[in-house]
């Protein structure tokens, strides 16, 4: 693949690219760019994670070296997302890091993305080093409280009196680019202010700035806002069973003709169509006899178009003939326009999304059900808040007689002992 095609693959379907020329130069030099994508193990990962994880497939196909950062220290710093006590949260973060790795590996396997080409790193493995700590101090010497608060506004939860821990978050994320030796960092567009923060302040402590690539955010199922791990009503977890997926999709905000802040419609654009395209690309590469980076994947690997759809279709809205029959699409724009023109009823769109989503989640749920270690980690990482603590056993009281002359009967005269009846009768003394 020539440099131009590699670059096109790296940046396709992204919402924004900062520093793209630096990536082009690396490709022109015949080198493989290095990138990292990080996630803080807080709430349970939701279906919005399919957006960056699917994009990572494009990076691997373009020979980008990808590091997955499990940002456990960042999770600890953002303690406002937790209702647990500090000591409990320290232990939870460790289990949640393990849980996240299980989830991410399962998603990659289900999509056919080779995990052997990914490098997983835990933040605490390098963020506690002397060198990192000193660079963090240098960063703090250059960054004002206002700078730090503004940088983390979209990512770190803040109140009127933000904790110092949350203000450290953006600077550390910038330093991670240096210590993970990446050429670009990849993340959601909600992290744009942190990326600008990194580009501004890394050169001030002697490090070159990196490029930054951003995917769009999937809106939540409720009206307005992004899909968030901390808002159970806005998201669908990657392990939610089919009946829960059905209930959540059914109650999602999806007003007829409204293409703004429409969760189900945006999910088709950001997740289902890219995965359909990924599967079509794999089929085409194998049909042409060429090498493909992608593996087989798990579960139903067909696109989200009906079997009788025209060639090249990537999504189908199934409807009875009395309602106009099924609609097949080769791109999102046509689907979006039909929904805006009210040619697609919200109920039909929701039904298509529910079916596709349950197909997508089935192999992930199966991996979880077959993995006892993952199940154990899940119980410890996300304990049931309604579970009753085991009742404490009452200590059995043992009677200990008081010593002679003590106790409540100590002042009573001692009564002479009576013969028991089994004792031998006294014998007369010999004269």
Other C-beta atoms lying within 10 Å of the C-beta of residue 223: 16
Instruction: Report if residue 431 sits inside a domain.
Output: no
Instruction: Please tell me whether residues 183 and 257 are part of one structural domain.
Output: no
Instruction: Please tell me whether residues 249 and 263 are part of one structural domain.
Output: yes
Instruction: Please tell me whether residues 141 and 251 are part of one structural domain.
Output: no
Give the CATH number for residue 38: 3.40.50.620
pLDDT number for residue 377: 96
> Of the candidates 357, 380, 403, which is a domain's last residue?
380
Instruction: Please tell me whether residues 213 and 229 are part of one structural domain.
Output: no
When pLDDT is cut at 50, 70 and 90, the band that residue 384 belongs to is confident
**Contact present, 264 and 315 (Cβ < 8 Å):** no
pLDDT at 262 over 80: yes
Instruction: Report if residue 249 sits inside a domain.
Output: yes
Average pLDDT for 25-47: 95
Nearest to 146 by CA among 167, 163, 132, 160: 167
Instruction: Please tell me whether residues 223 and 212 are part of one structural domain.
Output: no
Give the CATH number for residue 299: 1.10.240.10
pLDDT at 414 over 70: no
Instruction: Please tell me whether residues 225 and 320 are part of one structural domain.
Output: yes
Instruction: Please tell me whether residues 108 and 200 are part of one structural domain.
Output: yes
**Contact present, 74 and 100 (Cβ < 8 Å):** no
| pLDDT per position as a tens digit, 86-114 | 667 788 899 999 999 999 999 999 999 99
Query: What share of the chain has pLDDT > 70, as a percent?
Result: 84
| pLDDT per position as a tens digit, 165-175 | 889 999 999 99
Domain count, the chain: 2
Instruction: Please tell me whether residues 132 and 147 are part of one structural domain.
Output: yes
> Of the candidates 359, 380, 401, which is a domain's last residue?
380
The domain containing residue 100 runs over which residues?
1-217
**Contact present, 245 and 54 (Cβ < 8 Å):** no
When pLDDT is cut at 50, 70 and 90, the band that residue 16 belongs to is very high
**Encoded tokens for 219:** 């809106």
Instruction: Please tell me whether residues 302 and 360 are part of one structural domain.
Output: yes
| pLDDT per position as a tens digit, 205-218 | 999 999 999 999 88
Look-up of token digits 């410890």: 380
pLDDT number for residue 397: 67
Instruction: Please tell me whether residues 156 and 30 are part of one structural domain.
Output: yes
pLDDT number for residue 390: 56
| pLDDT per position as a tens digit, 147-158 | 999 998 888 776
Q: What are the two backbone dihedrals, phi and then psi, of residue 317, each rounded to the nearest 5 degrees?
A: -100, 110
The contacts of residue 102 (CB under 8 Å, 6+ apart) are: 368, 371, 373, 374, 377
When pLDDT is cut at 50, 70 and 90, the band that residue 407 belongs to is low
């Amino acid at each position: 693949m020539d440099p131009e095609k590699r670059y096109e693959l790296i940046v396709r379907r992204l919402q924004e690219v900062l520093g793209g020329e630096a990536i082009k130069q690396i490709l022109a030099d015949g080198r493989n760019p290095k990138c990292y994508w990080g996630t803080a193990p807080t709430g349970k990962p939701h279906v919005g994670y399919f957006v960056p994880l699917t994009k990572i497939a494009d990076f691997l196909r373009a020979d980008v070296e990808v590091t997955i950062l499990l940002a456990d220290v960042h999770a600890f710093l953002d303690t406002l997302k937790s209702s647990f006590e500090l000591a409990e949260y320290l232990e939870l973060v460790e289990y949640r890091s393990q849980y996240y790795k299980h989830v991410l590996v399962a998603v990659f396997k289900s999509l056919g993305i080779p995990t052997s080409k990914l490098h997983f790193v835990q933040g605490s493995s390098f963020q506690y080093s002397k060198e990192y700590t000193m660079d963090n101090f240098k960063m703090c010497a250059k960054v004002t409280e206002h700078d730090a608060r503004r940088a983390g506004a979209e990512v770190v939860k803040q109140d009127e009196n933000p904790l110092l821990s949350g203000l450290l978050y953006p600077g550390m994320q910038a330093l991670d680019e240096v210590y993970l030796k990446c050429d670009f960092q990849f993340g959601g567009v909600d992290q744009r202010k942190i990326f600008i923060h990194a580009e501004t302040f890394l050169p001030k402590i002697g490090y070159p700035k990196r490029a930054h690539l951003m995917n769009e955010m999937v809106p939540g199922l409720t009206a307005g806002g992004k899909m968030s791990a901390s808002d159970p009503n806005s998201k669908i977890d990657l392990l939610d069973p089919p009946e829960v997926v059905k209930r959540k999709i059914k109650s999602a905000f999806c007003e007829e003709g409204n293409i703004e802040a429409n969760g189900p419609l945006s999910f088709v654009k950001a997740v289902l169509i890219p995965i359909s395209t990924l599967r079509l690309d794999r089929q085409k590469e194998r049909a042409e006899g060429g090498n493909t980076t992608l593996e087989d994947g798990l579960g139903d690997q067909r696109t989200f178009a009906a079997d009788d759809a025209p060639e090249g279709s990537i999504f189908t809205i199934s409807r009875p003939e009395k309602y106009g029959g099924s609609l097949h699409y080769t791109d999102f724009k046509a689907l979006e326009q039909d929904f805006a023109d009210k040619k697609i009823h919200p109920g039909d769109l929701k039904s298509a999304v529910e079916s596709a989503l349950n197909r997508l989640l089935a192999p992930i749920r199966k991996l979880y059900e077959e993995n006892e270690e993952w199940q154990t980690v899940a119980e410890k990482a996300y304990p049931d808040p309604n579970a009753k603590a085991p009742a404490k056993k009452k200590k059995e009281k043992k009677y200990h007689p008081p010593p002679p002359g003590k106790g409540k009967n100590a002042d009573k005269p001692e009564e002479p002992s009576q013969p028991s009846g089994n004792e031998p009768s006294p014998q007369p003394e010999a004269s």
